[in-house]
Chains A and B, each alone.
Chain A
Amino acid sequence: MRTREADIAGASGGGRAGARLRRSHLKLADPAFRWLTILCAAAVALAMIALTGVLVGNSWLAITKLGLKPLHTVAWAPSIGSYGALSSLFGTFVTTLIAMVIAVPLALAVALLLVELVHPVLSRVIGTTIEMLAAIPSIIFGMWGIFVVVPILQKVEPWIQSTPLGRLGLFSGPPIGIGILPAGIILALMVLPFITAVSRDVLGMVPTVVKEAGFGMGSTTFEVTRRISFRYALSGIAGAVFLGLGRALGETMAVAFLLGGVFDRLPHSLLDQGTSISATIALQFGEATKPLDVSALIELGLILFLITMVFQLVAQVWLARARRMTGSRA
């Protein structure tokens, strides 16, 4: 005869065993999920390697036939056998530089405004508006540049030329509105939302207690921001800037519209026309008839790819240094 205790023990034991049984088919769930995620991560790495392979493979013809010549030749003029990359490289770097000079201070100012200075409701409204700027297709920016920025520049440029700035040489040439300067301005507008959004997020992540400690020392908002928050957020802001930089370097449509498509020489000034790597690829691909033309264009793409990779690496090294300096463990 079973005792009452044994009954209870048996019943509760059986209950627990039942529960274990019901979930037993899930014992493989975690390892399976782990392998699935590993597979996904591997796919990303694989795609990266494959992409590099395709770029190198397809530009191999140009690399073997032209050697290093494109890197020290200015003009892109396939009809006369000149495959220079310098005009494109120059345009890419100068427009990106203009964009960053305009966008970075502006983005930091806006981020600061959003985090520290305006009412949270207003901050959300402005923040969302700026984020929506990032969703606008780049072709729209290009069109807006042509129809709005260029006519304005046509009026502003002669005025700049009449001021002492005009004598610098940076603003010489016919003020027709299309050229390096408007491309840089539009690029600035396009990278602004990225830099602003990331900077806002990292500034928002500065620990409250550190900010309070700053105010508690008798600092003004500006002092807390400049001396404490910005230092704390430095690595994140650097990341934001490089993110914008990467986008500006590779941007195609807007600058293709605005640069003026001059492929065979370097621009003489900010008002002059030129090209960029991505603009050259976009505008010249249709005219590339010979295999070497196509291969050379793909080589340009490879160069752009390598440049952005180098920037990414530089960014990472720099971020690591910034992290060590502030001692933040983020």
Chain B
Amino acid sequence: MTETTTDRSAAVAPRIEVATGQRAVEFDALPSKLSVRGLDFFYGKEQALFGNTLEIKEKRVTAIIGPSGCGKSTHIRTFNRIYELYRNQRATGEIWFDGRNILASGTDLLDLRRRIGMIFQKPSPFPMTVFDNIAYGLRLHFKLSRSELADHVEDALKRAALWDEVKHKLKEPGLALSGGQQQRLSIARAIAAEPEVILMDEPCSAIDPVATAKIEELIAQLSSAYTIVIVTHNMQQAARVSDYTAFFFEGRIVEAGLTTQIFENPQRKQTEDYITGRFS
């Protein structure tokens, strides 16, 4: 992990300095972690996504924005196929992840969901201690000794910037933490399972501004090691945390590109109207 981190910091530094035009070129050259091709989604007979195509760049933050009910959450819920918990939900099209179409039958869902972690709108600690929450995914997916387990838990909590706050509370119930801490606990829990992608479905909508700032800071730190996709209805947040933004409207991707470009120089009128708050 340390190796990857140093690798990345070398790559991050120049990215901030180059001009927008060059960055766009550099961005297109970046490898995609997830490639969505012609994604349709149905709730029963009602279609919610219409032939969407989107590139999610590796170790970058992609924000998905748009008005309520436009299919943002629906879209990222296909990446780990969590929608399959519900009988009447169905996705067609292709989502390529490491050379495999994850929508194809025969995908190992348990491993897919370990590799693509998810953070939900509401903090969702499991009804167990802080330690056991973090150890949950580790116990599921890895064979670890007691001390290795403790090391991994500490490591995950440190990477989620939560260790200092909870190191003396490891034996307390996860539900006893504050809302913001619970959400970072959820992030730490996802990180512990060593995912490659982290999906965040409006992770700050249920927590206060101070806790939100901490999570945004955390997202910036995590983006050096993980590919992050964040759904948000907060445009300032999208502008602050993401490298890349996709604007959804009524189930379709209207425009996707560099966050700076979407916010400063949108190509479509619909995008501009939304960004400038002419409709929501």
Contacts and interface: CB of A to CB of B under 8 A. Distances in A.
A69 B106 CA distance: 71
A162 B121 CA distance: 60
Interface residues of B, number: 32
Secondary structure of the B contact surface, majority rule: helix
Contacts of A12: none
Nearest to A221: B85
A216 interface: yes
Contact of A212 (B120, B128, B190): B120
A209 B85 CA distance: 12
B82 A212 contact: yes
5 contacts: A209-B124, A216-B118, A217-B189, A228-B126, A326-B175
Given A218-B111, A326-B173, A213 B121 contact: no
A164 interface: no
Nearest to B113: A218
Contacts of B175: 326-328
Interface stretch (B55-63, B134-142, B148-156): B134-142
A218 B118 contact: no
Nearest to B121: A209
A210 B85 contact: no
Nearest to B123: A209
B122 interface: yes
Contacts of A216: 80, 82, 113, 117-118, 120, 190
Contact of A219 (B110, B112, B117, B120): B110
A273 to B, nearest CB: 45
A158 interface: no
A327 B120 contact: no
Contacts of B112: 218
B174 interface: yes
A327 B193 contact: no
A217 B186 contact: no
Contacts of A231: 126-128
Interface of A: 119, 207, 209-220, 223, 227-228, 231-232, 234, 324-328
Interface in B11-38: none
B129 to A, nearest CB: 9
Contacts of A326: 127-128, 173, 175
Interface of B: 80, 82, 85, 87, 109-114, 117-118, 120-122, 124-128, 136-137, 140-141, 173-176, 186, 189-190, 193
Nearest to A219: B140
Q: Which among B82, B126, B189 has the greatest number of chain A C-beta atoms within 10 A? A: B126
Contacts, number: 80
A136 B90 CA distance: 43
A218 B193 contact: yes
Nearest to B80: A216
A323 to B, nearest CB: 10
Contacts of B137: 217-218
Nearest to B132: A227
Given A119-B87, A218-B111, A219-B110, A327 B173 contact: yes
A232 B174 CA distance: 12
Contacts of B126: 210, 213-214, 227-228, 231
Contacts of A209: 120-122, 124
Residue among B85, B87, B109 with the highest chain A CB neighbour number at 10 A: B85
Contacts of B109: 218
Given A119-B87, A209-B121, A215-B85, A327 B110 contact: no
B136 A215 contact: no
Contacts of A327: 127, 173-176
B212 to A, nearest CB: 18
B141 A218 contact: yes
Contacts of B174: 327
A68 to B, nearest CB: 45
Residue of B110, B186, B189 with highest tally of chain A CB at under 10 A: B110
Nearest to B127: A326
A40 B138 CA distance: 54
A231 B112 CA distance: 25
A210 B124 contact: yes
* Shortest 7 CB-CB contacts between residues of A and residues of B: A327-B175, A327-B173, A326-B127, A218-B113, A213-B124, A216-B118, A218-B114
Nearest to A214: B126
B124 A217 contact: no
Contacts of B176: 327
Contacts of A212: 82, 85, 118, 120, 124
B120 A217 contact: no
B89 to A, nearest CB: 13
Given A209-B122, A209-B124, A218-B140, 7 more contacts: A207-B122, A213-B124, A218-B112, A219-B110, A220-B110, A232-B127, A327-B175
A214 to B, nearest CB: 7
Given A219-B140, A327-B175, A213 B118 contact: yes
